[in-house]
Amino acid sequence: MKSFTEQLCTVVRATECAMAFNRWVLDGLVPLAYLLEDARLKAKAQKYVDWILNNAAPSGMIGPTANHDWWPRMVAVKALVQYQEATNDPRVIP
C-alpha cells in the first residue's frame, strides 16, 4: 500500500508534491527541533532551510517561478521566521 505522500504525488507532479509536502513538514519541524533541542531534528530542518535560502532568486523570491500563488510561499516564510527566531541566522532577515 502506498503512503499518503506517494498517493498525493500521483495526483500532482512529483516536484510540486515534494515542495508542498516539504513546506508543511518544515513548518512543524523547525519549532519542534528547537523546542526539544534535538540535534537530529535540527540537522533535518537545516537541510530544508539551506535549500530554500540557497535557491532563492536574486530578487529574493522563493519557490517555483511558474507558480505565482503566494499562499504556498507563506508557509515556507513562516517556517523561515521561526528558524530565524530560534537561530538568529543572518541569512534570514527578521
CB 72 within 8 A of CB 19: yes
Instruction: State the Cα–Cα distance between residues 9 and 83, nearest whole angstrom.
Output: 27
Closest CA relative to residue 92, chosen from 29, 41, 48: 48
Q: What is the pTM of this model?
A: 0.75
Instruction: State the Cα–Cα distance between residues 60 and 93, nearest whole angstrom.
Output: 11
Domain boundaries, the chain: 4-87
Give kind and range of the element (H or E) at residue 65: none
pLDDT in tens, the chain (94 residues): 666 555 545 544 545 555 556 778 889 999 999 999 999 999 999 988 998 899 888 988 888 777 778 887 898 899 999 999 999 999 998 7
Query: HSE-up of 21 (CA within 13 Å, CB side)?
Result: 14
